[in-house]
Amino acid sequence: MKGLTSRQNQVLSFIKDYIRANGFSPSYREVQHNFNFSSLAAVHNHLKALEKKGAILKERQMRRSVVPTEPIHRSEQCELPFIGHIAAGEKVELFSETQSIFVPAELVTAPDRCYVLKVKGASLEEEMILDGDLLLVEARSHFVKGETVVAILFGEETLVKQIEQQEERIFLSSRQKRVDPIVLSAEAVQVQGVVVGLIRLYQN
């Protein structure tokens, strides 16, 4: 867009790329983190300048409300069902109504079988998965040794672990090598899907 400084063009491009990847706009904190701005006030000043020049629109008193005025093409995006929250040791918490979210197409090999779960809390940090991360899950029960799966133990407890099967035994291993694997009979483990991607969102 004409009339923007080099830095303003960079900020605008980041906003567009973020929306293409995530389906919604970045927070002020995410803009600050990406550009190493010294404060949120600096972010506010850049966005205010972009708004003044007609490059973006902002809804007042709403988070993640920055929208570029030029259309954003989603030709390289894939829209997936965004179905709920996941935390280790608990059942998946489904949304009352299924939402959708755009993710990079290169992360999804079987879009007709994939969905997205948002991590809730710190229970998956052992697997290097953080609160607020988005897990892209392919719904299938078969797996390859070493894949990370969403599994339900004894019909109750949900875990996200690397999996291996030896005869009638299932080994669920942590990414932290100091943690011993969980060993169970195959009939005690129900694989809900395989994690095929992760998107990390920086929170306010």
Domain 6-68 fold is Arc Repressor Mutant, subunit A (1.10.10)
Per-domain boundaries in the chain: 6-68, 78-199
2 flagged as catalytic: no
pLDDT at position 61 = 52
**Which letter does DSSP use for residue 62 in this model?**
-
Q: What is the pLDDT of residue 192?
A: 95
Rg (CA), the chain: 20
By the 8 A CB rule, do 164 and 150 touch?
no
The residue from 96, 161, 174, 177 that is catalytic is 161
Handedness of CA 109, 113, 116, 120 (dihedral sign): negative
Give the DSSP letter of residue 187.
G
CA separation for the pair 115, 68 (Å, rounded): 27
Q: Tell me, what's the pLDDT at 93?
A: 93
User: Considering the entire predicted model, what is its pTM?
Assistant: 0.64
pLDDT of residue 204: 43
CATH architecture of 78-199: Ribbon (2.10)
Strand (E) or helix (H) holding 93: strand 93-104
Q: Out of 123, 173, 177, 185, pick the active-site residue.
A: 123
Alpha-carbon distance of 150 to 141, in angstroms, equals 10
SS3 128: coil
Structure letter (DSSP) for residue 162:
E
Output the pLDDT for position 57.
85
Query: Going residue by residue through the chain (204 aa), what tens digit of pLDDT does each one get?
Result: 668 898 899 999 888 888 776 667 888 888 999 899 999 999 999 999 999 999 988 766 556 678 788 876 655 778 899 999 999 999 999 999 878 888 888 788 788 999 999 999 999 988 889 898 999 999 999 999 999 999 999 888 999 999 999 999 999 999 887 888 999 999 999 999 999 988 886 544
User: Is 118 a residue of the active site?
Assistant: no
